[in-house]
Structure 1
Amino acid sequence: MGVKDELKVMAEGFRWGRRPLVPRSAEEHAQPKVDRVFPSDWARSDAGVAARQVLLKGAMHPLVRNELTLRVFGRDNLEGVDPPLIFYSNHSSHLDATLIMCTLPDSWQAKTAVGAARDYFFDVWWRQAFTALVYGAFPIDRTRGAKGAVDKARELLAEGWSIVVFPEGTRSADGHLQRFRHGAARLALETGAGLAPIAIVGAFQAMPKGRFWPRSGRPPVTVRYGEPFWPSEGQTHQELSLRMTQAVTQLFHEERTTWWEALHRAQRGETPSLVGPQGPDWLRRWEGSRPVGRKGPAKVWE
């Protein structure tokens, strides 16, 4: 058995999202869960940044390239833009944060931190350390008021750090886009930080919720970076959230057609929704898992 196969077996055996189970008969005797705060600032120190660069370039990026057929577009939209930015993306797979950190230009990658779910990634020490080191991550509480996470995000932006957030709040169970929560929009309005949309196409098909390793066959995945934009004066957080959704939707349509057609459809207000039609959950999952073409969108000269 090779190293890759051993890693897959180990990944399947871990309870990645939770602590070890307590037998039902012993639940009433179990000690109450202690709410601990795991420090992550060390991962954004000079030494932490250097270690992260080595891990991303020497291990994570080659592993991603080995397991996926990866295509990246739009990084030129970040040229000449001053940090910090709030990078935001659709969220359908645990691949998403890794794909973003592995495809960001070096100048951005070195000073970008990912907002990660506290109840999932910061519940046991080894996962806390890995998440903080590889992603420069800071915890976001999805179950209670997230004031602490907002304060940390605001602090990072003030220090010149860009952040990565997933406005849907959790991974999509069926691959379709979920409603954006307003936290990122509020943060942009409060801080004046720009918003950089990202569309990740194919991650759900490659590694949907419930899988801990990509499917075999190097499934195709595309990461598209859109043009950053800034909140307008007098804009409400609802209006900004809508614009954020539209920007990601346009990038998806750009992947399915061409940049030119996607742009014109957006200007005419004709960009198809990514939410998908209402229907049985199994049918939405089946439709959301439709294989992504390996050739990508047609070129205008083809």
Structure 2
Amino acid sequence: MLFTLRLSCSGKAVHRVYATASQEAFLEGHVEAFTVLGGVPSVHVRYDNLKPAVKQVLFGRSRLESARWASFKSWYQFSAFYCAPGEDGAHEKGGVEHEGGRFRRKHLVPLPAVDSQAELNERLAAIDFSKNPNITPEVVADLKSPTWVREGRPLVLIGGSGTGKSHLLISIGTAIAETGLSVRYTTTSALVNELAEADASRRLSSVIARYSKIDLLCLDEFGYFNLDRKGAKLLFQIFTEREERKATAVATNSPFTEWDKTFGDARLCAAIADRIAFRCTLIQTGTESYRYQATQESLFPDPN
């Protein structure tokens, strides 16, 4: 059985092969996918009326679920959206079925010669990384180790839109949290807004003190929006408080040379860049969008 879980927004997919279509394989596939993706979908996951999950199709989208599947969803805190049966639901499940078929034709026909199911899944896991050759399993494995976080070293992910920066940032943050360290994920604009509101209500010192205690601060969409001088100064205080004591990871689509456009003030920009760049790990995720690649492959599938 080929298990496929695909994110509908980014097109990122995880594939694993199992000997049978059992409920155990179905649940194990989810656990593996959540691990690779770095988290659990925040809204719901769309399903066909699979036997490992559904005991009986009721009226509309209501389903009588198996007890084990209901407990699994409750543990991981996500909900299931079930496709309508028959032709009415054909368009609702086309995305993942197409992805599974494409992957099977491209990588499993003919079936690779391997000594075990584990070896085959290792190969499939490597294929997931091949979508972006700039990100290697070895680099990700190093970043999921808490050593760099305990040393207070920064991490900078630079790349174009759709190249996997946010997925990588969340995945690393989740792995670090699982080691017992404190992690906070937020967008840069949300952080600046929180600081501005705290400043207006005379709570700025307490908010900065709270952020200074977090072991790993993950800042997404860094440089996406231009900041006024006040916003830049507030953000600068966060970096100053955390410098060389606590780790900060940022994901940005702008190289260091363009950060002056974000901050507007050359001196503030230089000071912030200096604090982020010192002892940092820099990963460039490239410019080729994974979403664009997935769309191209969907529109123009490989005949082989």
TM-score between both structures, scaled by the size of structure 1: 0.26
Larger proportion of strand: 2
Larger proportion of helix: 2
TM-score between both structures, scaled by the size of structure 2: 0.26
